[in-house]
């Protein structure tokens, strides 16, 4: 058995290294999680959430407060995945096997935790932070669109369909009217697969997409946009919810130094906030109309 010494903070931490390299990496992550602070992304988002709720919690409903509370109850991997997905394109589906987040020890477990519905009580509207591909019916086409051309060709070949052509041609072939019997060759013998094409297509896609897909729930995403709206007193100027904070923390963007103090009098009640949001949207639509004309 080999051993190594990892240094975190002021003192060394002894860790045993054995088995595969993957096990070593996992052990290192556990040690880092124990002796280091949380990710910058998680920390910045939680700071935003606490700052708003400290003096302006009256702007949110009981169901929304339940959502905020449940976020803090999630384990670290789930919170990290959620915050990182907030930084990505709204309404987009992502393959778990294509998300490379080294801070997450178990991406599949984190995704499942985010997709679990929750509510503070039976009287409140249930929430879920995200959806997975299994939660959506008739999800074949958009799942196929997440595959690469080579993966589409492999899928078509497995289904006994034409496996050449452009991406559009492959998608058309794969979504054509299904048949229930396919003749294929295996070990120099011809066999017939009677399993419905739809079921085989789903099965083969699951083999290719290790872990499935995830998309943030639109209701929760809208809630987080409202949270950022209150925090910034308007829509974030630079990109996503945390872009300006991340750029400032990493020293890639320098903002003027000033002293600020949050005042809850700007939005006396929720109705004022909603009307201000609506007015902001109208201004954006007018600006877009002028630019397009």
The mean pLDDT value for 113-117 works out to 92
10-14, 171-175, 227-231: which has the minimum mean pLDDT?
10-14
Residue 29 has pLDDT above 70, yes or no: no
Show me where the domains of the chain are located: 38-129+217-262, 140-211
Dist. CA 279–CA 285, nearest whole Å: 10
Q: 121 or 274: whose pLDDT is higher?
A: 274
pLDDT tens digit sequence for 205-253: 878 887 789 999 999 999 999 999 999 998 887 778 888 888 888 888 8
254: left (phi over 0), alpha (psi -120 to 50) or beta: beta
Q: What is the pLDDT of residue 192?
A: 47
pTM for the full model?
Answer: 0.75
Q: What is the pLDDT of residue 5?
A: 31
Dist. CA 162–CA 22, nearest whole Å: 38
Dist. CA 254–CA 144, nearest whole Å: 42
Q: 142 or 123: whose pLDDT is higher?
A: 142
Structure tokens, 143: 């799942």
Dist. CA 180–CA 228, nearest whole Å: 51
Q: What is the pLDDT of residue 259?
A: 84
Dist. CA 136–CA 269, nearest whole Å: 36
Give the confidence band of 11 by pLDDT, cuts at 50, 70, 90.
Answer: very low
pLDDT tens digit sequence for 179-203: 554 545 455 554 544 445 677 887 8
Average pLDDT across the chain, whole number? 79
Q: 192 or 157: whose pLDDT is higher?
A: 157
Q: Which residues of 5-33 are buried (b: 16+ CB within 10 A; e: fewer)?
A: eeeeeeeeeeeeeeeeeeebeebbbeeee
Give the confidence band of 18 by pLDDT, cuts at 50, 70, 90.
Answer: very low
């Amino acid at each position: 058995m080999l051993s190594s010494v990892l240094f975190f903070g002021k003192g060394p931490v002894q860790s045993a290294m054995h088995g595969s390299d993957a096990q070593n990496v996992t052990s290192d992550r556990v040690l880092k999680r124990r002796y280091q602070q949380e990710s910058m992304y998680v920390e910045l988002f939680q700071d935003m959430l606490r700052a708003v709720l400290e003096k302006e919690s009256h702007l949110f409903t009981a169901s929304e407060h339940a959502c905020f509370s449940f976020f803090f109850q999630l384990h670290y991997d789930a919170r990290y995945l959620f915050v990182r997905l907030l930084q990505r394109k709204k309404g987009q589906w992502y393959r778990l096997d294509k998300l490379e987040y080294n801070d997450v020890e178990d991406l599949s477990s984190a995704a499942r935790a985010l997709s679990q519905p929750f509510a503070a009580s039976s009287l409140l509207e249930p929430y879920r932070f995200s959806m997975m591909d299994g939660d959506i019916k008739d999800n074949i086409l958009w799942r196929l669109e997440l595959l690469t051309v080579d993966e589409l060709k492999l899928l078509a070949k497995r289904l006994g369909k034409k496996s050449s052509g452009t991406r559009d041609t492959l998608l058309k072939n794969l979504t054509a009217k299904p048949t229930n019997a396919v003749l294929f060759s295996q070990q120099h013998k011809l066999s017939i697969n009677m399993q419905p094409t739809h079921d085989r297509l789903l099965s083969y896609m699951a083999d290719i997409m290790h872990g499935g897909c995830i998309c943030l729930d639109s209701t929760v995403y809208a809630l987080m946009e409202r949270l950022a709206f209150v925090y910034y007193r308007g829509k974030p100027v630079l990109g996503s919810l945390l872009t300006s904070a991340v750029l400032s923390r990493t020293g890639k963007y320098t903002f003027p130094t000033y002293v600020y103090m949050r005042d809850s009098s700007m939005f006396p009640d929720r109705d004022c906030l909603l009307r201000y949001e609506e007015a902001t949207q109208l201004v954006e639509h007018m600006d877009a109309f002028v630019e397009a004309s």
